[in-house]
Structure formats: C-alpha cells, structure tokens
Structure 1
Amino acid sequence: MDALEEFILEAKSHCYIGRGPKNRQSCRPGSHDLSFQKANFSYLDSYFGGTDFMGQETVWRDEIPVWGMNYYGKILKDDLLTAEMAGRIITTSLQALYQQGRFLGGFQQEVEGFHYSDHSEGSYQRFTGVETIRLNTTLLYQFDYHGGMIRP
C-alpha cells in the first residue's frame, strides 16, 4: 500500500465512519462537507441529501487534486429500512472493512438481521463498485460508486 492509498483509508476512517465533525461552512450551497488533513495530503467528502444522496470525495497532494470518487446512494424501501438503521449498518460494516486495511474489494456481513454487501472491481487507481443492504432477498438500499486517479 502506498502513501496515497494509506491516506485515503485514514481519511475515510476519520470522516464518515469516525463521525468526524461536518465543516461549519459548506463549500457548495446545501452541501454537507467532511474534511481531513495530514502532512501534504488533504481530503474532502462533499455530499447533498440524506436518505437519497450524492457526493464526491477528493484528495489533494500539495494542493493538486490527485484522486477522486463519485457516488449516489438511495434507500429503496423506507418502510423496511430507516436512514438511522442504514447508517448503523453501513458504519459497522465499513469499520470492519477498514480494520482489514482496505476500503475496496468484496466484503459481506450480517448486521442487526440485515445483509450488508460491498463489491468492487479495480484498485484505488481506477474502480467501480456497489454497496447494498438486503433483508432476506429484498434489496433495501443501494450505493453506486466509481473513481480513481486524477492527472492533469
């Protein structure tokens, strides 16, 4: 794992999963922003919405954008899965994934009677993936993401 990949994992762990504080001032009207900095790297996760949401994560090295990820997520069955429940399932699952020293790749687990699954292809340099929550065979939540390196 190189320094950039390590930083991405650390930033993700400190922000959404670590319940990092949201920035007081949004970088775009209506956005929710989470940021993290270490050495010459900085990270910003900026998203819109709640149960239906979209956003972008970006990493800068020496103030030059070098990596990014776009995403869209949606609770599909809000009569069976609340935003609070989905948040608990996702944070519990991603904490377990990050403890393995990675943020991409196949991962599945049962949380509170729900089945969490994350499948992706590629490496942090170029990837696509989908995260889902199911109850038995019913798809309740889906999060689509893709991203990779940014070069001038």
Structure 2
Amino acid sequence: MTNLAAFIVEAHRNGYATTQADPGPDGEKVITYGRGEYGYRDQYYGSTAFVGHEVVTRDGRPVWGMSYYGDVVREDADPNDVYAVLREALEQATTDRPYRGPAAYEGDEMTYSSSVDGDLQRFEGEEHIQNSETVVYRGTFAGGRVD
C-alpha cells in the first residue's frame, strides 16, 4: 500500500493540481498519468459544480478508485479564485493523506480543510474552502480498494 499511496500523491501532483484536462467525447474532462506499473485516470464533468472519479491501475488492472463531487456554494465567490486554492491544496497531498488535500491549507485569502474517515482501503471525506468565516466551496469524496 505504501507504493500505491506514493503513486496516488504523485498522480495528484501531476493531475488536476497542475495539468490541463483533455476534453472527452461526451463533454467530460480527462487527465491521465502513468509511471512504471501504475496508471491513473481522472475523469470529471462540469466546472463550477463538478462530479468525477479517479481510477489507479497496476499492470493494467484497476486497484484503487475514488469518486468526488464539489461545488462553489456562494454566488459572490469567484470560481477561479476558489479553484486556484483547491489546486494548491491538492498539490499538498501526502502519503498518509493521499485522497485529496491536507487537513488544513492556507492560501493567500482563503483556507482549505478536509476530514477523512477510513484509510486507503476504504474511506470517505469532506473538504471545504473558506473566505474569512464563510464557506465558499464544499466537496465530498469516497473510495478505496478495487478488486
């Protein structure tokens, strides 16, 4: 599981956090990444409100996956600013928390926080971005081992 967690962190740092997605035939956005025996595919729909999933393969077989949903929940929040903070937070993933971002991250004007119940085998969590005391983004995610 250590190698898997390290690859997930690497894929996140080379995925949505830093890479432009390729458009798919049905309006989805797709990001792929691979190294050695591992492959990663992130497929999502939408922009201000989005839904998607990630799958990690090892030697061509699915071994791990995660589904997620997120939305800017305040009309007065600039989605570009909100998602810039989300990208920064996702770059901070660690092998002990490879799911999304860290428990806490402070951007220039907004803060990111996430909570996770479970481990790499099976987990669910929530993430928020706040501007001062106001939540401007909410996201949920869940996933784990795939056999």
* TM-score > 0.5 by shorter chain: yes
Query: 1:20 is aligned with what amino acid?
Result: T
1:35 pairs, out of 19, 32, 35, with 32
Partner of 2:46: 49
Which stretches in structure 2 are left out of the alignment for 5+ residues? none
Query: 2:98 is aligned with what amino acid?
Result: F
Partner of 1:16: 16
Partner of 1:136: 132
Check the 8 A contact 1:36/1:43 in 2, yes or no: yes
Distance 1:136-1:21 versus aligned 2 partners, 3 A rule? closer
SS at match of 2:141: strand
CA deviations over 1:72-102 (Å, ceiling 9, x no partner): 00000021x211101111122222x33x544
What is the TM-score normalised by the length of structure 2?
0.89
Partner of 2:78: 82
Partner of 2:108: 112
- Percent identical among aligned pairs is 31
Check the 8 A contact 2:89/2:102 in 1, yes or no: no
Segment drifting more, 109-118 vs 121-130: 109-118
Partner of 1:103: 98
Check the 8 A contact 1:106/1:120 in 2, yes or no: no
Query: Aligned-pair RMSD on alpha carbons?
Result: 1.8
1:127 aligns with 2:126: no
Query: 2:8 is aligned with what amino acid?
Result: I
Query: 1:141, 1:128 → 2: CA distance?
Result: 17
Aligned residues: 145
